[in-house]
Chains A and B, each alone.
Chain A
Amino acid sequence: METVTLTIKNQPELYLEAETISPDALAGKKVEEILGLPVYVGREQHRLGDYFDVSGKPGATPAETKIVLNGDLSRVKYIGTKMTDGEIVVNGDADMYVGAWMQGGKITVNGNVNAFAGTGMKGGELIIKGNAGNYLGAAYRGDWRGMQGGKITVTGNAGSDVGTFMNGGEIVIGGDVDVHVGTHAEGGKIVIKGNAKSRLGGQMVEGEIYVFGKIDVMLPGFVYREDVDIEVDGVKGRFALYEGDIGERHRKRKGQTIYGKLYQRIEA
């Protein structure tokens, strides 16, 4: 695997929209070509080289390309959007839409990310060592196709609306989350190792939510079923199982109605 390093040298006046920072766009290109790739500030088109120094070189294919991003990227959007393979390491904070519609490969952010990370994600791995903003692994505005595959791991906390319209894949959050988790979910798995606030699983059709800490307010659409002993993300414990959202439609499998499942740990 070849490594190409992008170091931010000028901060954009507004925000930089840089869908081109992805192994798919950089693979097989010479440094001069990479410098000339388009990025946008508002409606103006600029060159990637106007904002970044480029060193090293990308591989011949996305799979053989690793991108290392250095500097303050908290005003850079769309890093790794739609990437299919390869690797990105962000050494610092990043703005919105990191790994959105990602299909494969791996992104590691050694810092915080803003909202919409992993929007509509289909595959691959997104690792956030800091905190995540709102709408982590959610659907794009209006869309019913949220996260569908792959895995998102957040070491710190996440904001509100984690996994809205989630259909598949897995989100693991080391810390706490804000309101609205797995709204409209029809599949997938969300693990919250810290505390949750309220409105977990609203209009949830199918899927699983695990909460290790406390839940401020449980939705009335969730019904307690039983206590179960299970292992979640390498942690064994006893969980209270709730099913819901009972106000939503649910399909049947072998005569049995399938609900969304919400597990809350009661003892380690």
Chain B
Amino acid sequence: MAEYLIKNGFVFDPVLGIRGDKADVAIKDGKIVETNAVKSPKVIDATGKTVMAGGVDVHSHVAGPKVNVGRNFRPEDKLFTYKPRNGIERMQGGFSVPTTIRTGYNYARMGYTTVMEAAMPPLYARHTHEEMRDTPILDQGAYPVFGNNWFVLEYLKNNELENTAAYIAWLLRATKGYAVKVVNPGGTEAWAWGLNCENIHDPVPYFDITPAQIVKGLIEANEYLGLPHSMHIHANNLGNPGNYTTTLDTFKLSEGIKPKSKFGRDQVMHHTHVQFHSYGGDSWANVDSRAKEIMDYVNSHDNITIDMGQVTLDETTTMTADGPFEHHLTELNHLKWANADVELETGSGVVPYVYSPDIKVCAIQWCIGLELALLAKDPMRVFMTTDHPNAGPFIRYPRIMKWLMSEESRKQQFDAFKYKDKVIDATNLAGIDRELDLYEIAQMTRAGPAKALGLAHMYGGLAPGLEGDVAVFDFNPNEPYAPDDIEKAFSNAEHLFKSGVQIINNHEIVSNGNKRTLWVNTKVNENPQVMRDVKEKFLRYYTVTLNNYEVSGHYLPNPYVIEVDATQ
């Protein structure tokens, strides 16, 4: 493989602790190496530019059945957004639910190289893998959802931790999944009965188990197995005024539990898109920000990580396995609604949504997301996301960087709000003058998420031995710049390397890369009961047989298996 030497750039790397100093980065055989280990490298002159590791997205909905429902039922999302084939680039289309091809290219243009699909319905794992396979460049993994799964509900009701763990290990292998995802625990199952679980003690109909039991049980099972990532949760009561108490109650379920993983993470719970879970008040008329209460908790508890779910003020497509929430949303905005029930496992809904700066609640949501990041004491535990496409399309990450790095740009946005004064009254953001620097941004977008995923040995930094994932941006942090310069530079990487392959050269995509799919293979002691339960449930309830369920080899032409041994 070609050798590269990226010379003289301003490097921001939390792994090596480099804060914008001039440094060289060398790549050989797909990995980062010491600069003296390359013999005749191709030299990239990064003088006056910013150099970072490839970005890592911990939570994004980019592949699978609900994303495709979004594509199918929103032809207007593709209107005027098609781009014909050009050189190595294949045809692209779509805005909030882009084609797989555009997904890969647009992440690459922002300097991202690893993206995790945040919710995979196990029954449709094959579809999810087909779409990931067709997404160029990026290394990807997918999180199967467990929080409303009948096996899990039954085992945990009987406090059968070992069986829960064995089932998780089996399902991760069967679906080629990466982590344990939980969406509205119990609530989506309740939705099949026309109900919901609105707090962590609200029992699930028929199963007679509470969300608190599900969450705690899944954290414990996750640590029993020692998986690379922690349990990854979207808690109950998303998107409702006053829901911050449910969020804090959910956080507290992790108290006293320590990580037991060889993969270097410190958290036992990752709570996703916390913006949607940080509302005070008791109606949309008096909803306010509780980001402070939320961040007080997060800042003082090391075993939790979160991501933002930043509202970007765009027209977008919401999609989640939180079926009852999507129904609530379509009742609110009267736009089209898709709903699905996934047999014994989960459900989902899809609704378009317009986050308008002229609507007070949307502006408050915008403030809350930024407050979470700006009130973070440890940027290694608070990650940048938009819960793509729920709070906005991922292509807005550079815009969020701008808002986080520039108080002036936040003021400009406040001035553009129709109900500026009411928004300021209901939030804390106007009183926060913190401006993040690129080192902190690198923590939130690279080193932090890589560590939380248990992938710090591969991604998130520029230390020798890590993957050769490096982005060069045409941005000089030492020269004066306007806020918009940040967005412009980080939307359009000048150079990008993925596992040592040059993907972008002079802002132009020159390779479709060698995308890999990461999955976790966990060795557990034989568990005849769980295997018997699986067989029986497939015979009695599933519409498919096991043979048509498991994800086999050709769905993952380039797999990367992470082995975990939980037999000890």
Q: Do chains A and B stick together as partners? A: yes
**A140 CB contacts on chain B under 8 angstroms:** 75-76, 79
**A143 CB contacts on chain B under 8 angstroms:** 75-76, 79
Distance in Å from the Cβ of B539 to the closest Cβ of chain A?
Answer: 40
Q: Which residue of B lies closest to A44 (CB)?
A: B84
Q: Which residue of A lies closest to B336 (CB)?
A: A144
**Interface residue A214 (Cβ < 8 Å from any Cβ of B):** no
Q: Size range of the interface on A?
A: under 10
Distance of A144 Cα from B75 Cα, bound (Å): 11
**Interface residue B74 (Cβ < 8 Å from any Cβ of A):** yes
**Interface residue A141 (Cβ < 8 Å from any Cβ of B):** yes
Are the CB atoms of B76 and A142 closer together than 8 Å? Answer: yes
Distance in Å from the Cβ of B147 to the closest Cβ of chain A?
Answer: 31
**Interface residue A9 (Cβ < 8 Å from any Cβ of B):** no
**Interface residue A43 (Cβ < 8 Å from any Cβ of B):** yes
Distance of A143 Cα from B354 Cα, bound (Å): 13
Q: Which residue of B lies closest to A143 (CB)?
A: B76
Are the CB atoms of B84 and A142 closer together than 8 Å? Answer: no
Distance of A141 Cα from B334 Cα, bound (Å): 17
**B336 CB contacts on chain A under 8 angstroms:** 142, 144
**Interface residue B195 (Cβ < 8 Å from any Cβ of A):** no
**A142 CB contacts on chain B under 8 angstroms:** 73-77, 336
**A249 CB contacts on chain B under 8 angstroms:** 334
**Interface residue B335 (Cβ < 8 Å from any Cβ of A):** yes
Q: Which residue of B lies closest to A82 (CB)?
A: B80
Residues of chain B from 54 to 96 with CB closer than 8 A to chain A in the complex: 73-77, 79, 84
Distance of A249 Cα from B352 Cα, bound (Å): 18
Distance in Å from the Cβ of A162 to the closest Cβ of chain B?
Answer: 19
Distance of A249 Cα from B336 Cα, bound (Å): 14
**A141 CB contacts on chain B under 8 angstroms:** 75-76
Distance in Å from the Cβ of B93 to the closest Cβ of chain A?
Answer: 13
What secondary structure prevails in chain A residues at the interface with B? Answer: loop
Residues of chain A from 142 to 156 with CB closer than 8 A to chain B in the complex: 142-144
Are the CB atoms of B76 and A43 closer together than 8 Å? Answer: no
Distance in Å from the Cβ of A133 to the closest Cβ of chain B?
Answer: 19
| Most chain B CB within a 10 A radius of its CB, from A140, A141, A142 | A142
Distance in Å from the Cβ of A25 to the closest Cβ of chain B?
Answer: 15
Distance in Å from the Cβ of B127 to the closest Cβ of chain A?
Answer: 21
Distance of A144 Cα from B335 Cα, bound (Å): 7
Residues of chain A from 40 to 55 with CB closer than 8 A to chain B in the complex: 43
**B335 CB contacts on chain A under 8 angstroms:** 144
**A43 CB contacts on chain B under 8 angstroms:** 84
Per-position 1/0 for A220-240, Cβ under 8 A of B: 000000000000000000000
Distance in Å from the Cβ of B333 to the closest Cβ of chain A?
Answer: 10
Distance of A142 Cα from B335 Cα, bound (Å): 10
Distance of A158 Cα from B334 Cα, bound (Å): 29
**B352 CB contacts on chain A under 8 angstroms:** 144
Distance in Å from the Cβ of B124 to the closest Cβ of chain A?
Answer: 23
Distance in Å from the Cβ of A222 to the closest Cβ of chain B?
Answer: 20
**A144 CB contacts on chain B under 8 angstroms:** 335-336, 352
Per-position 1/0 for A130-171, Cβ under 8 A of B: 000000000011111000000000000000000000000000
Distance in Å from the Cβ of B249 to the closest Cβ of chain A?
Answer: 34
Residues of chain B from 1 to 20 with CB closer than 8 A to chain A in the complex: none
Distance in Å from the Cβ of B328 to the closest Cβ of chain A?
Answer: 15
**B79 CB contacts on chain A under 8 angstroms:** 140, 143
Distance of A77 Cα from B352 Cα, bound (Å): 29
Distance in Å from the Cβ of B385 to the closest Cβ of chain A?
Answer: 27
| Most chain A CB within a 10 A radius of its CB, from B74, B75, B76 | B76
Distance of A251 Cα from B402 Cα, bound (Å): 40
Distance in Å from the Cβ of B225 to the closest Cβ of chain A?
Answer: 43
**B73 CB contacts on chain A under 8 angstroms:** 142
Distance of A76 Cα from B73 Cα, bound (Å): 28
Q: Which residue of B lies closest to A144 (CB)?
A: B335
**B334 CB contacts on chain A under 8 angstroms:** 249
What would 19 A/B residue contacts be, using CB atoms closer than 8 Å?
A43-B84, A140-B75, A140-B76, A140-B79, A141-B75, A141-B76, A142-B73, A142-B74, A142-B75, A142-B76, A142-B77, A142-B336, A143-B75, A143-B76, A143-B79, A144-B335, A144-B336, A144-B352, A249-B334
Q: Which 7 A-B pairs have the closest CB atoms?
A: A143-B76, A142-B75, A142-B76, A141-B75, A140-B76, A142-B74, A140-B79
Supply 17 further A-B pairs (C-beta < 8 A) apart from A143-B79, A249-B334: A43-B84, A140-B75, A140-B76, A140-B79, A141-B75, A141-B76, A142-B73, A142-B74, A142-B75, A142-B76, A142-B77, A142-B336, A143-B75, A143-B76, A144-B335, A144-B336, A144-B352
B-to-A contact residues, CB < 8 Å: 73-77, 79, 84, 334-336, 352
